[in-house]
């Protein structure tokens, strides 16, 4: 992704994705702090905050998963539009060095978006036996890998549910031990 994002005209959401990952890391650090300190100090308040944070994260995961599967067609169209913009820029000014189009061709093992006549001036990888349409390859890659994203999402949601269960069990155990004393 660094090679795709290094071009001057790279889409801003590649960089926004990096900021989202940094924000998610900070959020997870805070949530982990609530859980660890709540367990170590036997604090019902911190364990309750940990449970609430996990509940919000679980709801966000489910929402993101639903939107990902509903918006699959839009994601494919957006990825194809990015390629078409890069392709059109290259065709207007082939002398200008544009490494992004070559990186797309290398990653997808394709060359161009239309007929063979238009592929003659494109920077295509040398190890392609039969050049394929890049727009079709973008759709194939997203279709083939979306189920992997779903499996990972379900696994993370399952771990989140276990975290919520264990935090509530620990919180109740702390309350019961305090009631006995």
- Residue 63, pLDDT > 90, answer no
Burial grade of 120 (CB within 10 A; 0-12, 13-18, 19 or more): exposed
- Residue 106, pLDDT > 60, answer yes
Q: Is the dihedral of CA 159, 162, 167, 170 positive or negative?
A: negative
CB atoms within 10 A of CB 150: 13
Report phi then psi at 58, rounded to 5: -60, -45
pLDDT tens-digit map of 127-180? 776 668 888 888 888 888 887 888 888 888 899 999 999 999 999 999 888 877
Report phi then psi at 121, rounded to 5: -95, 5
- Give the mean pLDDT of 15-35: 86
Tell me the pLDDT band of 117, cut-offs 50, 70 and 90: very low
Burial grade of 129 (CB within 10 A; 0-12, 13-18, 19 or more): exposed
Q: Is the pTM of this model over 0.85?
A: no
Q: HSE (CB half, 13 Å, CA atoms) of 87?
A: 19
Q: Can you tell me whether residue 52 is helix, strand or coil?
A: helix
- Residue 47, pLDDT > 50, answer yes
Share of the chain above pLDDT 70, in %: 81
Integer Cα distance of 33 and 3 in angstroms: 35
């Amino acid at each position: 992704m660094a090679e795709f994002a290094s071009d001057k005209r790279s889409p801003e959401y590649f960089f926004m994705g990096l900021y989202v990952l940094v924000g998610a890391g900070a959020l997870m650090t805070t949530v982990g702090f609530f859980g660890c300190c709540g367990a170590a100090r036997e604090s019902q308040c911190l364990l309750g905050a940990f449970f609430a944070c996990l509940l919000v994260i679980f709801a966000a995961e489910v929402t993101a998963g639903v939107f990902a599967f509903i918006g699959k067609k839009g994601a494919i169209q957006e990825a194809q539009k990015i390629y078409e913009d890069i392709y059109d820029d290259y065709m207007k000014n082939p002398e200008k060095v544009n490494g992004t189009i070559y990186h797309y061709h290398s990653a997808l093992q394709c060359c161009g978006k239309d007929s063979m006549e238009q592929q003659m001036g494109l920077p295509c990888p040398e190890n392609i036996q039969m050049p394929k349409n890049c727009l079709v390859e973008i759709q194939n890659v997203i279709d083939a890998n979306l189920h992997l994203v779903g499996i990972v999402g379900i696994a993370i949601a399952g771990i989140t549910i276990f975290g919520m269960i264990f935090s509530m069990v620990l919180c109740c155990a702390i309350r019961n031990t305090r009631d006995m004393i």
